[in-house]
Structure 1
Amino acid sequence: MAAFSPALMSEIRGRFAHVESCPFQGPRIFFENAGGALTLNSVVETSALFAALPDNQGRDNPAAHALVDRINLAKRDMATFFNADGGQYFVGESGTELSFRLIRTAVMGSEPGGAVIGSTVEHPASRSAATHWAGMAGKDYISVPHDDATGSVSPEAYAARMTADVRVATILHTSPVTGIANDVAGISAAIRKVAPEAIIFVDGIQHASHGAIDIRSYDIDGYVVSPYKMFSRHGYGVAWVSERMTALPLEQLINGPRQNWEMGTRDTGSYATFSDVVSYLDWLGDQHSDSDDPRTRLEAAGAAIHAHEQVLTGAMLTGVGNLPGLTELPGVTILGGADNPAREGLVCFALQGAPAGDIVARLNAQGIRTHIRKADHYSGNILTPLGLEAAVRVSMCHYNSVEEVSTFLAAMKEIAAA
């Protein structure tokens, strides 16, 4: 049984654009959320409003004042959403760009010498930035191997390779290939135990749409998300940085404000559409909580989203009604293992004898949108150790339904039989 009632599910789906059909393909089931989630209708409206305005912030006129007010409101919403003690929030070009910028700032601004540590499970955005800037700064790069069986990396794995001279550490919250979350707080504690002054960066891009973020509990210095993967739109990323990160030498205008991370005129629409996301989650949390506290409602929304997605992934793996789950189809390999409690709304699999690209194409022909992950610079770190050239990624969000999973399983039963 789904975690949401039929009435609530209908209301949830009604708040998103293109839930059941694509303007180019027609009717379809959207299981490609890790590539970019569905967009809230409110985000579409807000984007149009602010895209049409000619005014900039910082002027002395009503429109400019209104833009500043919306940015300040969004930063308060970000503070509620991320739940950090202090620090700053700002937008950039994308989650990848912000990851590079924060890691560059941390590596180049840290004490000379020492090392940078990260893991093999990471997305190439953080791993590429860390290895590149470690080399530029003359620092060693320490690579922590992830567990191929679980598709994750543990605090113990970090602890085994930690050294006291680690200056910067990077952590992946959730893998966009396996869908498996890592223990950010545990890894951070393992790092701090050996190198308490290390600057710790977290890539939260895949995790953000699948449950609550609680930076206060992580003891980190930087966290980045990509709003187009959490119900907003393309064209911007959001970062949080600690005071420790801001105290490092920053790239900024000569004689400009010392602690300013924002460069140039900001896109007010970016900030405003993030507020739309927080407003939606607040509404969803209100359906599962009687609290008057906004943060408590967001936590309730995160818990409800996680519970519903557990139902979806469980159904996909073990079956619905008379339809067999993926684990019951002969020749199927589930990345991260079928019984993995850290899974977040995503199932990635390979079917022996059936190329992943063919499966994706056959599903798409039946109106089921999925995605192929190849052993390339994006996913080779996960697939190559498993001996896989490619895999099929089926990524869900809380607006997806068990009925859609059933349709997928019916299609997969035919494909496996063929």
Structure 2
Amino acid sequence: MPAFSPDLMSDVRARFAHVDSCPFQGPRIFFENAGGALTLNSVVETSAKFAAIPDNQGRDNPAAHALVDLISRAKQDMATFFNPNGGQFFVGESGTELTFRLIRTAVMGAAPGGAVIGSTVEHPASRSAATHWAKAANKAYISVPHDDPTGSVSAEAYAAHMTPEVRVATILHTSPVTGIANDVAAISAAIRKTSPHAYIFVDGIQHASHGHIDIRSYDIDGYVVSPYKVFSRHGYGVAWVSDRMTALPREQLINGPADNWEMGTRDTGAYATFSDVVAYLDWLGRQRSDGANPRTRVEAAGAAIHAHEQALTETMLHGTGNLPGLAELPGITILGGVDNPAREGLVCFALKDLPAADIVAHLNAQGIRTHVRKADHYSGNILTPLGLDSAVRVSMCHYNSVEEVSVFLAAMKEIAAT
């Protein structure tokens, strides 16, 4: 059964733009959330409002003062969402740009020599940045193999490859290919046990929309998200950095503020739209909790999101009524395994003798938006070891319904039969 009641489901969906129709295609079911989540209506309104404001921060006029206050408020809201212990937030061009920048700063600023460690499950953004800057800094790169059947990497796998010479480590929170989450806190602890002073970076881009983030419990130095994947919009990324990361040498304006990470005037509207995201999660948390503080309500929202998405993926995998689930189709391969408790709102699959691109095309013709993942520079690290040249990614979010999953299963039943 879905975790959301029909009334709550209706209220949730009403807060998002284009929830059941595409302005180019018409009516459709949106199961492409890993490529970019739906956008809150409030974010659309805020974006339009701030796009029209000509003033910049840092001036002595009422508009500039208001913009500075809005940015300050947004950083407080980010703290509510991420729950850090110190450090600071800033925005950049995108999650990928911030990933490169933080990893570059850590690798180039760490003590000479040593090594950089990461895993084969990671998105190419962190892998590319880590290998590039490790080479530039004359540091070895240690590649931790992930577990192909589960689509994840464990703390034990990191521990087996750790040395005291590790200067920088990268961790993927959740895979955008398999939808399987990794235990960031446990991996971080394994890294620190052998190399206590390593700089640890986490890619939270896929994870952010599927449940709560608790940086305080991770003992890390950098965490990055792409807001367009967490109900906001394109055009910016959000990063949190520890104070010790900020103390490293990095690009700055001469004689500028020592702790400043931002390059040039930032878009106040970007900050303001992230406040919209946190306000929405606060509202959702209020539907499940009468907690007195915003963080408690955001945590309640994360728990509700996780429960609802778990119900959606269980239905998709095991079926409902007379509709078989994906796991019951002959010749099926479910990436990450069928019953994987670390799955977050995403099912990636392949059918023997039926190309993934054909399945995606058939679904799209029926108004069901999914995506094909190919064994290319984005997903080859996951697909190639499984002997797959492509797979179908069905990525859900908490505003999706069991009814939408049922429509998908009916379509898949027909596709598999042909």
TM-score by length of 1: 1.00
Aligned twin of 2:160: 160
Can you list the C-alpha shifts for 1:128-158, whole angstroms capped at 9, x where unaligned? 0000000000000000000000000000000
Q: SS at the partner of 1:181?
A: coil
Pairing 1:334–2:334 present: yes
Q: CA deviation at 1:263?
A: 1.1
How many angstroms apart in 2 are the aligned matches of 1:411 and 1:15?
A: 28
Q: CA deviation at 1:320?
A: 1.1
Return 5+ residue gaps in structure 2 as ranges. none
Q: SS at the partner of 1:108?
A: helix
Return 5+ residue gaps in structure 1 as ranges. none
Aligned twin of 1:52: 52
Pairing 1:373–2:373 present: yes
Q: Percent identity?
A: 85
How many angstroms apart in 1 are the aligned matches of 2:40 and 2:151?
A: 31
Q: SS at the partner of 2:209?
A: coil
Aligned twin of 1:409: 409
How many angstroms apart in 2 are the aligned matches of 1:339 and 1:22?
A: 32
Pairing 1:36–2:50 present: no
Can you list the C-alpha shifts for 1:339-369, whole angstroms capped at 9, x where unaligned? 1000000000000010000000000000000
How many angstroms apart in 2 are the aligned matches of 1:268 and 1:234?
A: 14
Aligned twin of 1:389: 389
How many angstroms apart in 2 are the aligned matches of 1:259 and 1:76?
A: 18
Within-5 A mapping of 1:149-228: 149-228=149-228
Aligned twin of 1:81: 81
Within-5 A mapping of 1:102-181: 102-181=102-181
Q: CA deviation at 1:310?
A: 0.1
Letter in 2 for 1:355: P
How many angstroms apart in 1 are the aligned matches of 2:196 and 2:168?
A: 11
Letter in 2 for 1:359: I
Letter in 2 for 1:261: W
Letter in 1 for 2:252: Q
How many angstroms apart in 2 are the aligned matches of 1:20 and 1:84?
A: 35
Aligned twin of 1:398: 398
Aligned twin of 2:242: 242
Pairing 1:289–2:285 present: no
How many angstroms apart in 2 are the aligned matches of 1:68 and 1:34?
A: 32
How many angstroms apart in 2 are the aligned matches of 1:184 and 1:244?
A: 19
How many angstroms apart in 1 are the aligned matches of 2:342 and 2:297?
A: 23
Can you list the C-alpha shifts for 1:144-180, whole angstroms capped at 9, x where unaligned? 0000000000000000000000000000000000000
Q: SS at the partner of 1:388?
A: coil
Aligned twin of 1:269: 269
Letter in 2 for 1:134: A
Aligned twin of 1:72: 72
How many angstroms apart in 1 are the aligned matches of 2:350 and 2:284?
A: 34
How many angstroms apart in 2 are the aligned matches of 1:290 and 1:67?
A: 32
How many angstroms apart in 1 are the aligned matches of 2:386 and 2:181?
A: 19
How many angstroms apart in 1 are the aligned matches of 2:216 and 2:54?
A: 38
Can you list the C-alpha shifts for 1:223-275, whole angstroms capped at 9, x where unaligned? 00000000000000000000010010021001101110011001000000000
How many angstroms apart in 1 are the aligned matches of 2:136 and 2:414?
A: 52
Aligned twin of 2:356: 356
Q: CA deviation at 1:410?
A: 0.2
Q: CA deviation at 1:120?
A: 0.1
Aligned twin of 1:317: 317
Extract structure 1 runs of 4+ deviating beyond 4 A: none
Letter in 2 for 1:4: F
How many angstroms apart in 1 are the aligned matches of 2:17 and 2:88?
A: 31
Q: CA deviation at 1:292?
A: 1.1
How many angstroms apart in 2 are the aligned matches of 1:104 and 1:343?
A: 30
How many angstroms apart in 2 are the aligned matches of 1:29 and 1:238?
A: 28
Q: SS at the partner of 1:99?
A: helix
Aligned twin of 1:253: 253
Q: SS at the partner of 1:171?
A: strand
How many angstroms apart in 1 are the aligned matches of 2:146 and 2:55?
A: 49
Aligned twin of 1:22: 22
Q: SS at the partner of 1:86?
A: coil
Q: Say how many residue pairs are matched.
A: 418
